[in-house]
Amino acid sequence: MEREEKRIESISRQMGAYSLLFLGAVVSLMPLYWLVMTSLRPAGAEFTYPPEWIPSSFHPENYTVAWNRAPFWIFTFNSILVTFLATMGTIITASMAAYAFARIPFYGRNVWFALTLSTMMLPWAVTLIPRFLLFKYLSLLDSLWPLFLPFWFGGGAFYIFLIRQFIMTLPLEMEEAAVVDGASRLRIFLMITMPLTKPAVAAVGVFSFIHHWNDFMGPLIFTNQESTRTLALGLRYFGDEQFTEFRLVMAVATLMLVPVLVVFFAANKYFVSGVALTGLAGR
């Protein structure tokens, strides 16, 4: 009898758990449902009252109409180029710095590491204007260079920290054996450490991809011409119409979201584990 009661209690508990989880899922997805539904509405139907939960008719041609409003092919190409180059730079140079912090006992290592961590607390707004002036001085404004070049210099403290934490968890034995065999640091880094660090590097890659694909402030500050706009900036192309032709804006926003979701689902495992790894910071 008692066992039966326990079973019922556990079932009702699970029901409660699932209803809470479902509620959260509905709240998470509702805005995105609204996004996609709006993008499929007939022209002018954004402003029917009361709003329709399901469009009276579906209009996928909104997507081509929106796409032809501005040179979105150029924006997409720019976004892909910047995201790719910045992510490559981040992965390569952040791994190098992380390896040095984790494995090479050089003079001043702890000081540099503390400095690195402290930059995470630095408001980026402080360096914004001088960076703008720096790229102006280098005549690189209105090009894509300012959007990826800085990321070939370590990529950022957060990424270095994440990879370093991961390398610290790897056993030393293989590297020591390689030293006995006379391998150089560079060889050990490339042939032993990096292959083992793949999960952390993948997490950094996904973070960086999403950051650069979504970045708005960088392109806003550094690029001013149509030919150097990225998608995030191009979305503003609708000008004042952006607040009247919501279905078109929502169509481009949906298109912009697709690559992010693909990468997110493909690398979900690394993504969550990457954030979790940074949680170590507080321990």
- Give the nearer residue to another protein in terms of CB position, either 52 or 61: 52
Q: 2, 28, 182, 225: which one contacts another protein (CB under 8 A)?
A: 28
Give the residue, chosen from 8, 21, 191, 266, that forms a contact with another protein under the rule CB under 8 A: 21
- Residues numbered 148 to 177 that lie near another protein (CB under 8 A) are 150, 152-154, 160, 165-166, 168-169, 171-172, 175-176
Number of shown-chain residues binding another protein (CB under 8 A): 112
Site for another protein in 31-60 (CB under 8 A): 31-32, 34-35, 38, 46-51
DSSP 3-state percent helix, strand, coil across the chain (nearest 5): 80, 0, 20
Q: How far is the CB of 123 from another protein (least distance, A)?
A: 5
Helix H, strand E, coil C: the string for 103-150 is HCCCCCHHHHHHHHHHHHHCCCHHHHHHHHHHHHHCCCCCCCHHHHHH
DSSP conformation class of 273:
H
Q: Which two tokens stand for residue 10?
A: 């556990």
**Which residues between 221 and 260 bind another protein (CB under 8 A)?**
221, 232-233, 235-236, 242-243, 246, 249-250, 253-254, 256-257, 260
Ramachandran assignment for 44, one of left (phi > 0), alpha (psi -120 to 50 degrees), beta (any other): left
77 lies in the binding site for another protein (CB under 8 A) = no
Q: Is 12 a residue that touches another protein (CB under 8 A)?
A: no
- Close Cβ partners of 63 (under 8 Å, ≥ 6 residues apart): 39, 251, 254, 255
Q: Could you give the CA distance from residue 269 to residue 266 in angstroms, rounded to a whole number?
A: 8
Choice between 71 and 199, CB closer to another protein: 199
Burial code (b: 16+ CB inside 10 Å, e: under 16) for 165-178 equals bbbeebeeeebeeb
Give the count of beta carbons closer than 10 Å to the beta carbon of residue 77: 13
- CB of residue 228 vs another protein: minimum separation in angstroms? 16
Query: Is the CB of 1 or the CB of 121 nearer to another protein?
Result: 121
Coil, strand or helix: which one is 169? coil
CB of 5 to another protein, least distance (A): 18
Footprint on residues 109-128 left by another protein (CB under 8 A): 109, 112, 115-117, 119-128
The residue among 74 and 178 lying less far from another protein, judged by its C-beta, is 178
Closer of 81 and 221 to another protein (Cβ): 221
The answer to whether residue 29 forms part of the interface with another protein (CB under 8 A) is yes
Residue 93 lies near another protein (rule: CB under 8 A): yes
